[in-house]
Structure 1
Amino acid sequence: MKKVAVLGAGSWGTALAMVLADNNHEVRLWGHKQAQIDEINQSHTNEKYLKNIKLSEKIVGFTSMEEAVDSVEAIVLAVPTKAMREVCQQLKGYLKAPALFVHVSKGIEPDTHLRVSEVIEDELPESIREAVVVLSGPSHAEEVSMRQPTTVTAASLNIAAAEKVQDLFINQHFRVYTNSDVVGVEIGGSLKNIIALAAGITDGLGYGDNAKAALITRGLAEIARLGSCLGANPLTFLGLTGMGDLIVTCTSVHSRNWRAGNMLGKGMKLEEVLESMGMVVEGVRTTKAAYQLSQKLQVKMPLTSALYHVLFDGVDPKDAVDELMSRSKTTELDDLAQLLGDRVQ
């Protein structure tokens, strides 16, 4: 049994706390809203984020981060990417011994263009971090909380640390693989939210399966193009954190990014969409960061560029689709070679 703190009492943090509790670990779930933490401790529910789900009594809620992380061996960071720096800055004053950090957020920081693991390493000194591991893959919190079969990847440059995280979480409902390609895992998990927003828009516009299939396929090519430029192994994008996460996020009503895109496609403004969602839509922030990166590195990302102009320049979604369909003709095999690396010549 390990002592584990989960920072972030949203849907994903709560679902992962349930997995850890199922594995008989001592789980401390931190959130900043007293009423929510009281509900977790007294009723063993978290209705705003996971409706009709009963939580284990092994999950204890805290509003004090200092108390939540006291003497823990591992810390799961399940906060939105925009809150990651602030949370890490708070943590620095509370940790007395090195801990294993597991982050489950999917995004890229605008302006700095840092991946989440890089933000964590930027804020937390080596003296208090045993290692940083990414846990990512096709995993809706709603299904994980119902113990439906789910498979994810734990990625770290320190493969022994990835294996520790594998041991923490793996059980008969939640299978965990390991991977050393941190760049590929983080880029795949982050950029799929952009394509999911676009998929929601096409559905909101009333387009069919042909459009969505093309969007997912061409979206994967864009993800691989940027990821490979940043040093990722192209084969990672054919795995759970690439194609797997892309499929589940583009095709499910559980996906916040798909739902947000769907509302945009039906004519709602971005501000209205974000207000009505009531939860963070990571794809919006990531679109800005990925667009900035593509411009900086001169990587062609037409889908990302089109979505950026819809979100931030007020371009009509239908006009953006028409422009994409009217681009000059090109070949497909170069992108397939990108995905397969040196295996296609």
Structure 2
Amino acid sequence: MKEISVIGGGSWATALVKILTENKVHVHWYVRRHQQADILNQKGVNPDYLQGTKLDATYIEASTDLEAVISKSEILLFLVPSAQLPAIVRNIDTDLLKEKFVITSIKGTVGENNDLPSAFISQTFHLGEQHQAMIGGPCHAEEIAGNRKTYMTLCSANLPFLRRIADWFTTPYVRVQLSADLLGVEYAAIYKNVVGIVCGMAKGLNYGDNFMAVLVSNAIYELEVLLSGVGASTNRMGCSQYLGDLLVTGYSAHSRNRTFGELIGQGYSVVQSQTIMSMVAEGYYATKGLFETASRFGLNLPLLNTAYRVLYNHMPVVSEFKLLERNIK
């Protein structure tokens, strides 16, 4: 029997469970609330996210017992916000993950060391690279929910494992690609959320399409600088899992990071923006983690610097964008 344990109950988790259950993969699903688990098991609907999406409850076993869910499958899929990951893993017995395969799709750095999510889990549970994988984009949950054409990338040094599970994520509307570049794709997936926030700020400040094109062009260059700086390859940066993910996050109305940035650009504070959205914008945490990483490597990334100064140094967004205008070309 094909089965997987999913940790996380948000929009992205719901979209991936939709794909998995359509492919008759049995999903052991950890969620935080008993009511949410009951409704998922009985009706195949997530009451908190993508409520209009019907899931095949035949293949769902939702539970609030984290260790029970993990013990049910040899393959784990972590889909929690990066800020919540340390608290989640603290509740897991290290022995439970021995010889398991761990897939992540978390778009922010983790902890004081600003680790990649895959690296954080690997170090915590002593997993080798053959037992690690991640899912890259561009993949908005809302479009998957609506069966709209999507390209998804599975990344791991263990290509036989990826080939084994590729069909689990493949549907008539999802095309799956395989990559061995976990480092590059994971950093790109995190950086694109910062770009989404900066593009949103520009929209909130009423900049037009001409400036937005310059902004995104510079973001592409910054991504290349970042990947080179951390030791990742930039040979295939034009592919969808790098550039495509950045573009959709910068331009799409589905991007919660763009929405968050737009609120900031309109004059709302960080706390006000988070309250209005009532959803996690991973780019907020990613900005701090990547800024500290870029500083450690001596990288000059004007868009990232702008996001950091506005979000964490509480600098006025208008004056920061005037400065940014002089630092991009």
TM-score of the two chains, using structure 1 as the length reference: 0.90
Counterpart position of 2:115: 114
The gaps in structure 2 that reach 5 residues or longer are none
SS of the aligned residue for 1:76 comes to strand
Moved more, 23-32 or 194-203: 23-32
Counterpart position of 1:321: 321
How far apart are 1:97 and its partner, in Å? 5.3
Structure 1 residues 1-345: aligned runs within 5 Å? 1-57=1-57, 58-93=59-94, 95=96, 98-109=99-110, 111-126=112-127, 131-327=131-327
| Cα offsets for 1:82-114 (capped at 9, x unmatched) | 222332333335727522111111112253121
Question: Partner letter of residue 169 of structure 1?
Answer: F
Contact 2:86–2:111 (Cα < 8 Å) also in 1? no
| Cα offsets for 1:245-268 (capped at 9, x unmatched) | 111111112111000001001110
Give the length in aligned residue pairs: 328
Moved more, 290-299 or 191-200: 290-299
SS of the aligned residue for 2:54 comes to coil
| Cα offsets for 1:179-236 (capped at 9, x unmatched) | 1111110111000000100000111111111121111111111111011111111034
SS of the aligned residue for 1:152 comes to strand
Contact 2:130–2:156 (Cα < 8 Å) also in 1? no
| Cα offsets for 1:293-328 (capped at 9, x unmatched) | 12111111011111111111121111111111224x
Shift in CA distance, 236/279, structure 1 to aligned 2, threshold 3 Å: farther
Provide the rounded CA distance (Å) in 2 between the counterparts of 1:96 and 1:260. 35
Shift in CA distance, 78/244, structure 1 to aligned 2, threshold 3 Å: same
How far apart are 1:178 and its partner, in Å? 0.8
Contact 2:152–2:241 (Cα < 8 Å) also in 1? yes
Shift in CA distance, 283/27, structure 1 to aligned 2, threshold 3 Å: same
How far apart are 1:32 and its partner, in Å? 1.0
Contact 1:138–1:151 (Cα < 8 Å) also in 2? yes
CA RMSD after TM alignment: 1.8
Counterpart position of 1:336: none
How far apart are 1:12 and its partner, in Å? 0.5
| Cα offsets for 1:28-65 (capped at 9, x unmatched) | 22111112112212232113210311111122211111
Contact 1:37–1:63 (Cα < 8 Å) also in 2? yes
Percent identical pairs in the alignment equals 28
Provide the rounded CA distance (Å) in 2 between the counterparts of 1:110 and 1:87. 12
Question: Partner letter of residue 120 of structure 1?
Answer: I
TM-score of the two chains, using structure 2 as the length reference: 0.94
Contact 1:38–1:61 (Cα < 8 Å) also in 2? yes
Contact 2:4–2:77 (Cα < 8 Å) also in 1? yes
The gaps in structure 1 that reach 5 residues or longer are 331-345
Shift in CA distance, 248/92, structure 1 to aligned 2, threshold 3 Å: same
